[in-house]
A and B are shown apart, each in its own frame.
Chain A
Amino acid sequence: MSSRKIIKSKYFFEEDFVESLAEVPVEKTEAWASGAELKVVGKPTQRKDGYDKVSGSAQYTFDISLPKMAFAKTLRSPHPHARILNIDVSKAKKLPGVLEIITHQNTPKIPWYFGMSFLFDTTLRFEGDEVACVAAESEHIAEQALQLIRVEYEELPFTIEAGQAMSEAAPKIHDTNILRGRPDTYERGDIEKGFAEADVVLEETFTTQTAVHNTTEPHCSVVNWDGDRLTVWDSTQGIFSVRDGIADSLGIPASHVRVIKKYMGGGFGSKLAAGKYTVMAALLAKKIGRPVKIALDRKEMNLAVGNRPDSVQKLKIGAKKDGTLTAMVHESYGASGAYPSGAACSWPFRTIYQCPNLNTIDYSVYINAGPGRPMRAPGHVQGTFGMDSIIDDMAEKIGMDPLEFRLKNYAEIDQVGNAPYTSKRLHECYQQGAAAIGWYQKRRPAGSSPGKIKKGIGMASQIWWGGGGPPAYATLKLNRDGSATVIAGTQDLGTGTYTFIAQVAAEVLEIPLDNINVILGDTGVAPYGPSSGGSTTAPSISPAVRDAAEQMKTKLISGAAAILEVPERELSYRNAVISAITDSEKKLGISDVVRQMRERVLVTTGLRNANPEGYTINSFGAQFAEVEVDIDTGKIRLLKVVAAHDVGRILNPLTSDNQFHGGIIQGIGFALMEERIMDPMTGKTLTTNLHNYKVPTVMDTPTEIEVIIVSDSDPLISNTGVKGIGEPAHIPTAAAIANAVYNAIGVRMKSLPMTPDKILHALFG
């Protein structure tokens, strides 16, 4: 067993840096070199889960059905802000088929939302806040029972707009409507001096909408008690975080909770923590002594399980005539919803372009609406839209090509951490992306496209963390038949985790992919793995898998050495056969080694190495969009999107392409149509179905999406050299489209989504 140590590990996860103690190998396995000839890793590989999903045999949480299972449904607040005066469930309880009803009256006060509320609170702070939960013989009966519960509410004044909520006069949702009572701030240099040096100063305000994850599979759980132990099937991005959340809520040891998730229909950040629905189902299941299934409907998903906060961004930047940025200021506010969730969006603004004098202020504001949750690159999507819009405007003002302007202000090092990057190949993204879209050949001055269908090209830059880090483990078992089983405490959101884990193990052990079984998403059997968010799954887990496989290889060689009576250093390992270098007659297949070692199954556990000290790990990229704007209708159509990114090593180009396509399409949704719309008079949400909340369909996707990966590996990070791609794929799309739209029509769209009415308004008043 390789030697290990405990370190303080710190890396960025979704909304903030997380710091924890982590076990790491003392020495990192040497990384596969850039350009190394690998046989499986990096090769287009069919998904391990492909057959199950295409044939329909894949079981999602929503599909789990247990004998005697009951169904739960939740009664939610119809008001944005109210106090419960009384709840009467007597009529509902009498409905045949109703098994149990829980409310604040008959459940313990379980703290929720960082202790600011309870599982069932008597003050309701958003439409959709939980009031009661019913278990019944069928979902239909449970739904009918909800209508029979009589609740007396005292309606309270509400506020649903962050700008208004910040004012003194606004109704208070908590002690103060500003998260932590103060903004997040950052500054460097001397801002006054910076603007004094500028030849041109621009000041503009950009706004972005609240977006909702709207995953394909709803949030759902099936729970089952066995004595005092609880098994939970949950559609989740973090089995361990759900396990701990449920255990803490119910006041039982984490070891009594087992969380399982095999297949999943999307999370995008909305399924990172234990949900109230799961805990409610567990309470009901305990009371009725039967398993309980709870699944949210589309309305509940649009009200109560997260969103991307909106933003109002006031930006001011100054530059010299030669294109040097001298000062940048970002001031923003955004709505967190009724409970803490970061609405800050200045991260990319702080780092991506070189600028010595820079200030940012971000307010996260409470309003009476569903709490925000991380959504595919928190802050970055909205921040990049504002930032890259004003950067384009500045380029135009000083008469520079937008791409040249960005190259002129290229940041060589991380200006916030004041450290070098492990790798930064953004300039190659710019070059290769520009070539693929035809930047220098096709792009015309803004608004000069003739006719009614105006064409334009635009681009935007991307920065994100996504390096992952320890702790992350993988257990590898080598079976007597020479096949391997890899067990890891991560989960596959549909992104291809099953497949790349098998690829990494297959690469090292040189056994066929079909001989590798991957078990994920089960806290009952797997060693710890981090939640799948922040684009960290592959960067955290793949090195642990490789470590486990390398250890296994060493173990097998040791075993063969003993059996063959040849010193280890005189043995070679090729295609899962170990042979003496000097005597080719002396050889053993790995299956023979296992058989003779009597253990029947050999086990190793691999670890993610520590991240290198003194470096910042970021992924980078640039996306280019070519659009068509019909000025008769205001409709924007995407012709082509080029995504050129620096994301370290690609493990599987097929699933990587999938991620980019998905991220870009979601970016198109954010740019053009997705928006939570609320009624100002009642504080209620109007977009609670997929007709009103418009997610793009395949018909709304570009004719062509081209993905270019400029990187081949980042060996400083880990033994696999991987950076994450889930969020990078999505970050710059909306901003690139906005810049393309400006290039097409010559009018700057400062508000997302760029719906046809806004375009027509901008063009014709």
Chain B
Amino acid sequence: MKNFTYFQPENLKDAAKQLGNNWKDRLLIAGGTDLLGLMKHNLERPDVLINLKSIAGLEKIEYLPGKELRIGALTKITDIAEHPVIREKFTALAEAAGQVASPQLRNMGTIGGNICQRPRCWYYRGDFNCLRKGGDICFAVEGRNKFHCIIGGAPCFIVHPSDLAVALQALEAKLIIFSGKKSKSVAIKDFFVLPDADVYRENILKPNEIITEIHIPEPASGCQSGYLKFQEREVWDFATVSVGVSIKKNANFIETGLVVFGGVAPRPWIEQKISQALTGTILKENTISELTDICLQDAEPLEENKYKVVLAKNLLKNLLMRLNNI
């Protein structure tokens, strides 16, 4: 790890002032659970770290009934997992939060840091100078790629590691981003990018921008959501594949639905076809099987990750059955 200067701003303006125009020299630190690992392995070598924890007001959960849920970017993942309103009304998010990493990491890690965490590709984290790090090739293509993406890849085949991002996408959250002068609101679907648009960054955030809040609209009545994660090890592991779903039911029918996969693509992956197909269906075991069969039809698995297609379908099936008490 390189030596660095530690800056403790008192407010957002001061923090933003410290930020520069590139991703090299000056970085924000929240819980540090991802960033410190990156620094120890010399993947990040900042000169200045700007601590967001010294700014008051960024750690909060505010529920405005009938309107939206507002979560400060510095809110701990544990607090999200345990919050009664989030558990009841924004279930997918609470379920995702409850399965992140381990209790210790959830106690330190923040929601802002979680959606901005860097990829876990073992080439990226190891000493391989791959595309994403400015090198010439993606080692995963011909190498070991059991945990890589099956869709949306090329030229880089990472999966986005965040559990919360998948749930937030299923709940159609918005991110409030501050850039020194003003704040803007960005729909989460416009936040994450695929490698063909930017092979170096996983989202549109600029080096001088700070996520301050995450807003989630109040679910309409009849809405339900859930999150199902599959990991090889029972705890302290990233999703091999995960799925977040929100559906709005009217009697037995589904009025609208949104299906988002984690662990299959370089960003939370919205399955348009399924989401559309859900509309108007009555959910029974056989209709669910038919539905899930059409998902991820465009997947192009690598040598070692074909299993993810089956896994994704099965997880979706199980989550839909659970949401419909089948």
CA distance A682 to B137 in the complex (A): 12
- Establish whether residues B314 and A673, one from each chain, have CB atoms under 8 Å apart when the complex forms: no
CA distance A355 to B122 in the complex (A): 47
- Establish whether residues A682 and B128, one from each chain, have CB atoms under 8 Å apart when the complex forms: yes
- Establish whether residues B235 and A756, one from each chain, have CB atoms under 8 Å apart when the complex forms: no
- Establish whether residues A686 and B123, one from each chain, have CB atoms under 8 Å apart when the complex forms: yes
Q: A78-B127, A673-B233, A761-B306 are in contact. Are A687 and B311 (CB under 8 A)?
A: no
Q: Which residues of A contact B317 (CB under 8 A)?
A: 632
- Establish whether residues A756 and B307, one from each chain, have CB atoms under 8 Å apart when the complex forms: yes
Chain A contacts with B in 695-715, Cβ cutoff 8 A: 696-697, 699-700
Q: A691-B120, A761-B306 are in contact. Are A684 and B240 (CB under 8 A)?
A: no
Q: Which residues of B contact A140 (CB under 8 A)?
A: 1
CA distance A594 to B143 in the complex (A): 72
Q: Which residue of A679, A682, A757 is within 8 Å of B307 (Cβ)?
A: A757
Q: Which residues of B contact A632 (CB under 8 A)?
A: 311, 314-315, 317-318
CA distance A687 to B120 in the complex (A): 12
- Establish whether residues A699 and B240, one from each chain, have CB atoms under 8 Å apart when the complex forms: no
CA distance A78 to B128 in the complex (A): 10
Q: Which residues of B contact A682 (CB under 8 A)?
A: 128, 139
Q: Which residue of B126, B233, B311, B318 is within 8 Å of A700 (Cβ)?
A: B233
CA distance A292 to B235 in the complex (A): 37
CA distance A691 to B235 in the complex (A): 11
Q: Which residues of B contact A635 (CB under 8 A)?
A: 230
Q: Does B294 sit within 8 A of A, measured CB to CB?
A: no
Chain A 142-179 interface mask (CB, 8 Å, partner B; 1/0): 01100100000000000000000000000000000000
Q: Does A677 sit within 8 A of B, measured CB to CB?
A: yes
Q: Which residue of A144, A688, A697 is within 8 Å of B2 (Cβ)?
A: A144
- Establish whether residues A756 and B311, one from each chain, have CB atoms under 8 Å apart when the complex forms: yes
Q: Which residues of B contact A687 (CB under 8 A)?
A: 122
CA distance A760 to B305 in the complex (A): 11
- Establish whether residues A684 and B128, one from each chain, have CB atoms under 8 Å apart when the complex forms: yes
CA distance A635 to B231 in the complex (A): 9
Q: Which residues of B contact A678 (CB under 8 A)?
A: 144
Q: Does B232 sit within 8 A of A, measured CB to CB?
A: yes
Q: Does B298 sit within 8 A of A, measured CB to CB?
A: no
How close is A746's CB to chain B, nearest CB, in angstroms?
A: 18
CA distance A58 to B97 in the complex (A): 36
How close is B314's CB to chain A, nearest CB, in angstroms?
A: 4
CA distance A641 to B317 in the complex (A): 31
- Establish whether residues A760 and B310, one from each chain, have CB atoms under 8 Å apart when the complex forms: yes
- Establish whether residues A680 and B143, one from each chain, have CB atoms under 8 Å apart when the complex forms: yes
CA distance A687 to B1 in the complex (A): 21
Chain A 670-681 interface mask (CB, 8 Å, partner B; 1/0): 000100011111
Q: Which residue of A679, A686, A697, A764 is within 8 Å of B236 (Cβ)?
A: A697
CA distance A496 to B165 in the complex (A): 47
- Establish whether residues B237 and A691, one from each chain, have CB atoms under 8 Å apart when the complex forms: yes
How close is A490's CB to chain B, nearest CB, in angstroms?
A: 35
- Establish whether residues B146 and A694, one from each chain, have CB atoms under 8 Å apart when the complex forms: no
Q: Which residue of B122, B238, B240 is within 8 Å of A756 (Cβ)?
A: B240
How close is B262's CB to chain A, nearest CB, in angstroms?
A: 14
Chain B 304-323 interface mask (CB, 8 Å, partner A; 1/0): 11110011001101100000
How close is B116's CB to chain A, nearest CB, in angstroms?
A: 19
Closest to A701 in B: B234
Range for the number of chain B residues in contact with chain A: 20 to 34
CA distance A680 to B303 in the complex (A): 13
Task: Name the prevailing secondary structure of the A interface residues.
Answer: loop
CA distance A332 to B144 in the complex (A): 25
CA distance A275 to B230 in the complex (A): 40
- Establish whether residues A697 and B123, one from each chain, have CB atoms under 8 Å apart when the complex forms: no
Closest to A694 in B: B233
Q: Which residues of A contact B318 (CB under 8 A)?
A: 632
- Establish whether residues B126 and A686, one from each chain, have CB atoms under 8 Å apart when the complex forms: yes
CA distance A686 to B318 in the complex (A): 32
Q: Does B42 sit within 8 A of A, measured CB to CB?
A: yes
CA distance A349 to B233 in the complex (A): 32
Q: Which residue of A692, A697, A755, A757 is within 8 Å of B122 (Cβ)?
A: A692
CA distance A686 to B315 in the complex (A): 28
CA distance A757 to B304 in the complex (A): 9
Q: Which residues of A contact B240 (CB under 8 A)?
A: 756
How close is A673's CB to chain B, nearest CB, in angstroms?
A: 6
Q: Does B142 sit within 8 A of A, measured CB to CB?
A: yes
- Establish whether residues B234 and A757, one from each chain, have CB atoms under 8 Å apart when the complex forms: no
CA distance A689 to B230 in the complex (A): 21
- Establish whether residues B235 and A697, one from each chain, have CB atoms under 8 Å apart when the complex forms: yes
- Establish whether residues B305 and A143, one from each chain, have CB atoms under 8 Å apart when the complex forms: no
Q: Does A596 sit within 8 A of B, measured CB to CB?
A: no
How close is B125's CB to chain A, nearest CB, in angstroms?
A: 8
CA distance A147 to B1 in the complex (A): 10
Q: A634-B307, A760-B310 are in contact. Are A681 and B233 (CB under 8 A)?
A: no
CA distance A755 to B143 in the complex (A): 18
Chain A contacts with B in 54-87, Cβ cutoff 8 A: 78
- Establish whether residues B233 and A697, one from each chain, have CB atoms under 8 Å apart when the complex forms: yes
Q: Which residues of B contact A78 (CB under 8 A)?
A: 127
Chain B 243-266 interface mask (CB, 8 Å, partner A; 1/0): 000000000000000000000000
Q: Which residue of A147, A634, A700, A761 is within 8 Å of B234 (Cβ)?
A: A700
Q: Which residues of B contact A755 (CB under 8 A)?
A: 232
How close is B208's CB to chain A, nearest CB, in angstroms?
A: 29
Q: Does A633 sit within 8 A of B, measured CB to CB?
A: yes
- Establish whether residues B306 and A143, one from each chain, have CB atoms under 8 Å apart when the complex forms: no
- Establish whether residues B230 and A756, one from each chain, have CB atoms under 8 Å apart when the complex forms: yes
How close is A368's CB to chain B, nearest CB, in angstroms?
A: 16
Q: Which residues of A contact B234 (CB under 8 A)?
A: 697, 699-700
Closest to A753 in B: B232
Closest to A758 in B: B307
Q: Which residue of A633, A673, A679, A761 is within 8 Å of B139 (Cβ)?
A: A679
Chain B 9-45 interface mask (CB, 8 Å, partner A; 1/0): 0000000000000000000000000000000001000
CA distance A661 to B146 in the complex (A): 31
CA distance A670 to B305 in the complex (A): 21
Q: A673-B233, A681-B143 are in contact. Are A634 and B311 (CB under 8 A)?
A: yes
CA distance A684 to B122 in the complex (A): 11
- Establish whether residues B232 and A756, one from each chain, have CB atoms under 8 Å apart when the complex forms: yes
Q: A756-B307, A757-B307 are in contact. Are A694 and B232 (CB under 8 A)?
A: yes
Closest to B143 in A: A679
How close is A343's CB to chain B, nearest CB, in angstroms?
A: 22
CA distance A760 to B307 in the complex (A): 6
- Establish whether residues B237 and A694, one from each chain, have CB atoms under 8 Å apart when the complex forms: yes
- Establish whether residues A696 and B233, one from each chain, have CB atoms under 8 Å apart when the complex forms: yes
Closest to A690 in B: B236
CA distance A687 to B143 in the complex (A): 13
Chain A contacts with B in 741-761, Cβ cutoff 8 A: 755-757, 760-761
Q: Which residue of B1, B233, B314 is within 8 Å of A633 (Cβ)?
A: B314
CA distance A495 to B262 in the complex (A): 42
CA distance A687 to B123 in the complex (A): 10
Q: Which residues of B contact A684 (CB under 8 A)?
A: 126-128
Q: Which residues of A contact B120 (CB under 8 A)?
A: 691
Q: Which residues of B contact A756 (CB under 8 A)?
A: 230, 232, 240, 307, 311
Q: Which residues of A contact B305 (CB under 8 A)?
A: 757
How close is A98's CB to chain B, nearest CB, in angstroms?
A: 15
- Establish whether residues A633 and B235, one from each chain, have CB atoms under 8 Å apart when the complex forms: no
Chain A contacts with B in 503-531, Cβ cutoff 8 A: none
Could you list 21 A-B pairs, sorted by A, with CB under 8 Å? A140-B1, A144-B2, A632-B318, A633-B230, A633-B314, A633-B315, A634-B311, A677-B144, A678-B144, A680-B142, A681-B142, A684-B127, A691-B120, A691-B238, A697-B233, A697-B236, A756-B230, A756-B311, A757-B305, A757-B307, A761-B307
Beyond known contacts A634-B311, A681-B143, A699-B235: 7 more, CB 8 A cutoff: A78-B127, A634-B307, A686-B122, A697-B234, A700-B234, A756-B311, A757-B146
* B-binding residues in A (CB < 8 A): 78, 140, 143-144, 147, 632-635, 673, 677-682, 684, 686-689, 691-692, 694, 696-697, 699-700, 755-757, 760-761, 764
* A-binding residues in B (CB < 8 A): 1-2, 42, 120, 122-123, 125-128, 139, 142-144, 146, 230, 232-238, 240, 304-307, 310-311, 314-315, 317-318
